Amino acid sequence: MQEAVQIKDGEYTLRGFYHHPIPDHKKACVLIFHGFSGCQPGPHFMFKLLSRLLEKESIASLRFDFLGSGESDGNFEDMTFLMEVKEAELILDYAKKLGYKKIGIVGLSMGGGVAAMLAGRRPKDVDALCLWSAVGDAPHIIKENTTEDMERSMKELGVVDVGGLLLSKAFTDEMESGMIDIYKTVSNYSGPILIVHGDADTTVPIENAYKYKDIFGDRGELFVVKGSDHVYSNKIWVNDVLEKTVAFLKLHLGKH
């Protein structure tokens, strides 16, 4: 069953969808986090497809638009990485209030970085973590993709146009502040992790995935999607990622 749901964050509202089996014994729920400039259905509707597959396995899921994205309140230029981490905590608390005993997280790209931060901040509340093309060294990636024209726009206007969306100085200042160390934070998480990454990803280099694998050692499983880009833009890649992810989540959330 699919329901539209919302969460209040001060004066703003996060909007999303809640998939759950009937009957729902409130045993397991997966939180799904979209990436930078994305939204809750996911690229090629991968998040929606994942929710449907999980529901068939008696696992619920929640997928929200972060503030400033999709159907949620706010403007994109007001978004920062740590704001999304805070919103992710609200979504986790919402799932727990619904009564779920086990919580899994799936995050794509920057949403993967958010997922990793959440797991590291709330390790006792997360039972399985799955990272798709996840950002690890976010400050470095932002710096590498910042041109002189973008720096000039940020200095003169306080914003920069990124594919038709305005990115704020607050976002880049936060990245440069030293406050964000995803690898250090996620190392607090002691549960199982699945790391999925395409070896032809030019947006988030696969070295980020190797670093996650190094941190978790035998507790981390690395699944390299041969030839794949950042968002698995081929139906075969989509199916492989979904199959691997559902099997991982069944293994670690399906035992009650």
- CA 2 – CA 83 distance, rounded (Å): 27
Q: Which residue type does 245 have?
A: T
- CA 28 – CA 126 distance, rounded (Å): 11
Fold of 2-138+182-253: Rossmann fold (3.40.50)
Residue 256 has pLDDT above 50, yes or no: no
Tokens of 225: 């999607």
Residue ranges of domains in the chain: 2-138+182-253
CA count, 13 A, side-chain hemisphere, 80: 16
Average pLDDT value for residue range 6-26: 96
Mind listing the pLDDT tens digit for each residue in 197-209?
Answer: 999 999 999 999 9
Whole-number percent of the chain with pLDDT over 70: 99
Rounded (10°) angle between helices 110-121 and 81-97: 60
Structure confidence at residue 255 as a pLDDT band (50, 70, 90): low
Average pLDDT value for residue range 30-45: 97
Beta pairing class for 102-108 and 128-132: parallel
Mind listing the pLDDT tens digit for each residue in 166-190?
Answer: 999 999 999 999 899 999 999 999 9
Smallest CA-to-CA distance from 219 within 123, 149, 140 is with 123
